């Protein structure tokens, strides 16, 4: 099985690495990080709070027919990817034969730019939820939303939950349970502040501040 995770500058690293860590442990699977140009890909905190980059190992065109597609979110780079005829063309061509076409966080807007969310329910990072209507989708405040072969996941960490669901669909419940144990995914978040509806306005305001100061996720950041 071939899995393509889209990589583009100013992407959010965990959006990609969460699913990668689950899906790369499926049997007989090769995961490629695909980009317009292979090589180092800056993350959305690069130049703000890090110089961190991931390495894309393949060109988009090298992986034309992946079985699973994962589109991560990011900051300003997400908008650039939405406007790239090459990225959107690759996604449009790859989607019909993929078993699963998925997004994490604001990666939903790249699916949207390819016209794949028209008339569907979908989710994305909470800070960007109001924009889903612009790509024809209806926001649902769930961890991930499946519509046929398309799955959209909520912000950043939600890709891990989605990937375990895909693991079950691909290889059955026992395999997915084993992969959950393999990554020791017994989450114990310190607070009940992981979802927008749980949070006080002061927490929401600070979260937006943290996102923006690190250049991330809603595209509003400026380099420090």
Q: Under rule CB under 8 A, which residues in 148-167 are in contact with its own copies?
A: 154-158, 160-161, 164-165
- Residue closer to its own copies by CB (options 54, 137) is 54
Q: Which of 59, 80, 194, 220 binds its own copies (CB under 8 A)?
A: 194
Q: How far is the CB of 44 from its own copies (least distance, A)?
A: 9
Alpha-carbon Rg of the chain, whole angstroms? 16
Q: Which of 76, 84, 99, 213 binds its own copies (CB under 8 A)?
A: 213
Question: What is the length of the chain?
Answer: 224
Q: Which of 85, 119, 202, 223 binds its own copies (CB under 8 A)?
A: 202
Structure tokens at 198: 């749980």
Q: What long-range pairs does 61-66 form, CB within 8 A, spacing at least 24? A: 61/90, 62/32, 62/34, 63/2, 63/4, 63/32, 63/34, 63/94, 64/90, 64/93, 64/94, 65/2, 65/94, 65/97, 65/98, 66/2, 66/3, 66/4, 66/32, 66/94, 66/98
Q: Which of 40, 93, 99, 220 binds its own copies (CB under 8 A)?
A: 40
Q: Which residue has the tokens 């950041």?
A: 221
97 sits near its own copies (criterion: CB under 8 A): no
59 sits near its own copies (criterion: CB under 8 A): no
Quick check: 10 and 44 in contact, CB under 8 A?
yes
Beta bridge partners of 150: 101, 147
- Residue closer to its own copies by CB (options 30, 82) is 30
Active-site residue, selected from the candidate residues 3, 4, 105, 137:
105
Residues 6+ apart with CB under 8 A from 33: 5, 7, 16, 20, 41, 54, 55, 56, 57, 58
Helix (H) or strand (E) holding 164: helix 158-171
Size of the site for its own copies (CB under 8 A): 78
175 sits near its own copies (criterion: CB under 8 A): yes
- For the segment 63-92, give every residue that binds its own copies (CB under 8 A): none
- Residue closer to its own copies by CB (options 133, 210) is 210
Q: How far is the CB of 204 from its own copies (least distance, A)?
A: 7
Q: Which of 105, 120, 132, 150 binds its own copies (CB under 8 A)?
A: 105
2 sits near its own copies (criterion: CB under 8 A): no
Note if 105 is an active site residue. yes
* Active-site residue set: 105
């Amino acid at each position: 099985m071939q899995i393509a995770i889209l990589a583009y500058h100013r992407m959010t690293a965990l959006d990609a690495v969460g699913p990668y860590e689950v899906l790369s442990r499926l049997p007989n699977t090769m995961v490629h990080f695909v980009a317009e140009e292979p090589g180092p890909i800056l993350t959305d905190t690069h130049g703000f709070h890090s110089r961190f980059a991931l390495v894309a190992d393949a060109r988009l065109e090298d992986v034309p027919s992946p079985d699973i597609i994962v589109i991560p979110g990011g900051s300003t780079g997400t908008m650039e990817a939405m406007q790239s005829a090459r990225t959107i063309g690759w996604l449009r061509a790859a989607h019909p034969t993929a078993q699963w076409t998925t997004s994490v966080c604001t990666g939903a807007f790249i699916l949207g730019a390819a016209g794949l969310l028209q008339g569907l329910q979908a989710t994305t990072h909470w800070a960007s939820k109001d924009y889903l209507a612009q790509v024809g989708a209806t926001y649902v405040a769930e961890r991930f939303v499946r519509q046929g072969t398309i799955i959209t996941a909520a912000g950043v960490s939600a890709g891990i939950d989605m990937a375990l669901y895909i693991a079950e669909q691909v290889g059955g419940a026992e395999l997915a349970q084993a992969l959950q144990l393999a990554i020791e995914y017994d989450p114990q978040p310190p607070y009940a502040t992981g979802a927008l509806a749980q949070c006080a306005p002061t927490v929401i305001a600070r979260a937006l501040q943290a996102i923006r100061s690190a250049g991330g996720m809603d595209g509003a950041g400026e380099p420090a």
